[in-house]
Amino acid sequence: MTNWTATLANLVAHSSPNDEAIASAKKGLLDYLASSLTAGQTETGTLLIRWFDEEGGNADIPLIGMHKNASARQAALYNGYLGHALDLDDVHTDVRGHPSTVILPALLSVAATGSFSGRRFLEAYAIGVEVMARLGLTIGAQHYTRGWHNTATLGGIAAACACAYLQRFSAEKIELAIGIAATQSSGMRNQFGTEVKPLHAGLAAEQGYVASKLTGLGLIGSKRTLDGENGFLSLYGDGTDNADALTSDWGDSWKISKPGLWFKLYSFCSAAFHAADACHELLSQDTFILEDIQKIEVIYPPGGDAALIHTHPQTGDEGRFSVEYIVALFLTNRTATLSDFNHETIPASIRQVMNKVTRQYDATIKPSPHAVPKGRFTIVRVHLENGNILESRVDAPLGSTDKPLSMDQLEQKLDDSCSEEQAVQIKQAVNGLDKAATLSELIEAVR
């Protein structure tokens, strides 16, 4: 019987991501920083910093965009939270969640005080994404639908592997680090729509950091913690039936490039992106005014809207996870801005349109082979008062791996997130990172 934990640990220890993976890692790093800097100074971020000040600690690691340092654990928590604060950070469909906002902060907390090359850092990041994507494929769809938040539950193990690789742990040590991370795995989807959702990313980053730290200090826990009837894969998922996905063809291509990261232009849940693009198309193909609309049907494959837990959101915050809100918002304003997703009550004008939206599920519609995520589509069907019906179907939204952002669009996201000077510094540091002997330029740029 395969020992999946040991097999995975061994692959991590002896990995060597290729140049394509490194190029993708540079894009992912740029997007993570843009997402974090766009969030900037948040209410929860301020609350965390107040706590850190009270707690004290050796302030070695930068809090992104804050011109302030904190301890390694504090920084992992904060930077993990920040990247996910606006839900503007990358998605990986194999993960069913957000890899970079967990893996990169954990890595930064290890790397900022050590002596690591830029290439090693990027490799470690690619390996973290690899582990998280493969865990997502192995653990199965049920994990998410039962109520787990994959970003959190899979992120800690992935971050631990990334940190372990960065520090050149032996395969045996990596297996132990996986165990210490796995036994902390947590995060429930019933926190979606609150500030605890992005905090999950920070908690997972911290867990991954702590797992690698304690392993490095010599703590010995169990091996084989993914395996067995009480192991991680069985307790949290469908067992080891799909565990082939965890290790097979390792290194033939890298998940960070294929299918790759999905970079987001909007600050709401990616499961509503298709509908947003469909609204865009409807608005461009025909002219109608809001008052003409009798009702709006949004059609998903069964379960395709699982992440969109709010059908009657009260605030913009909750609306982040409501296709009703997103459709109403786009049909009304033609776009979404950050201020559409705060604690304030949704305005009556939007609510009026929202009330016309119903969700439907159609298992008979064939998904496109280009669908992102696999098997997904969204149809927005607008019934007008005059009897006319307008319809738009989107299989893969802009930014997803089938319609990736151009480098210009990605750099624009960064430019919009911070000062011109900082944007230039970051682009320079990230561009040259694979050739940099140390991380000092990057660390300096992200402050």
Burial of 264 (0-12, 13-18, 19+ CB in 10 A): buried
Closest to a second copy by CB, 315 vs 368, is: 315
Compute and round to an integer the Cα radius of gyration of the chain. Answer: 21
Q: Does 57 bind a second copy (CB under 8 A)?
A: yes
Cα–Cα dist 22/19, whole Å = 5
56 scored as a contact of a second copy (CB under 8 A) = yes
CA distance 359 to 387: 20
230 touches a second copy by CB under 8 A: yes
Stretch that binds a second copy, among 43-51, 284-292, 425-433, 434-442 (CB under 8 A): 43-51
Q: How far is the CB of 356 from a second copy (least distance, A)?
A: 27
Site membership for a second copy, residue 220 (CB under 8 A): yes
Q: In whole angstroms, what is the distance from residue 400 CA to residue 364 CA?
A: 24
Size of the residue set binding a second copy (CB under 8 A): 53
Does 263 participate in binding a second copy (rule CB under 8 A)?
Answer: no
Told to check if 190 binds a second copy by CB under 8 A, we report: yes
Stretch that binds a second copy, among 187-195, 286-294, 326-334, 412-420 (CB under 8 A): 187-195
Phi and psi angles of residue 266, each rounded to the nearest 5 degrees, phi first = -120, 155
Applying CB under 8 A, does 200 fall inside the site for a second copy? yes
Q: Does 55 bind a second copy (CB under 8 A)?
A: yes
Q: What's the rounded Cα separation, in Å, for the pair 298 and 379?
A: 6
Nearer to a second copy, 52 or 254 (CB): 52
Of residues 235, 245, 265, 443, which one binds a second copy by CB under 8 A?
235
Residue selected from 82, 137, 182, 354 as contacting a second copy according to rule CB under 8 A: 182
For 350-354, the CB contacts below 8 A with 24+ separation are: 350/325, 352/328, 353/290, 353/293, 353/296, 353/327, 353/328, 354/322, 354/324, 354/325, 354/327, 354/328
Distance (Å, whole) CA 402 – CA 391 = 21
Q: Interaction with a second copy in 403-432: which residues (CB under 8 A)?
A: none
Dihedral angle of Cα 152, 155, 160, 163, to the nearest 10 degrees: -120
Which window, 8-16, 188-196, 259-267, 280-288, contacts a second copy (CB under 8 A)? 188-196
Is residue 32 a contact residue for a second copy (CB under 8 A)?
A: no
- C-beta atoms surrounding 285 within 10 Å: 10
Phi-psi region of 170 (alpha: psi -120 to 50; beta: other; left: phi over 0): beta
Least distance between a second copy and beta carbon 118 (Å): 25
Q: Give the DSSP letter string of 106-171.
A: HHHHHHTTS---HHHHHHHHHHHHHHHHHHHHHH-HHHHHHTB-HHHHTHHHHHHHHHHHHTT--H
Q: Which tokens in the block code for residue 267? A: 């600050």
Closer residue to a second copy in complex, CB, 188/384 = 188
Is the Cβ of residue 43 or residue 286 nearer to a second copy in the bound state? Answer: 43
Give the binding range for a second copy (CB under 8 A) out of 115-123, 193-201, 273-281, 401-409: 193-201
Q: What is the nearest approach in angstroms of a second copy to the Cβ of residue 43? A: 8
The two three-digit tokens of residue 339, written as one number: 């201020």
Residues numbered 264 to 293 that lie near a second copy (CB under 8 A) are: none
For residue 203, state whether it binds a second copy (rule: CB under 8 A). yes
* Sign of the alpha-carbon dihedral angle for 94, 178, 151, 143: positive
- The site for a second copy (CB under 8 A) is made up of 44, 47, 50-51, 54-58, 71-73, 146-148, 152, 179-180, 182-196, 199-200, 203, 213-214, 217-222, 224-225, 228-232, 234-235
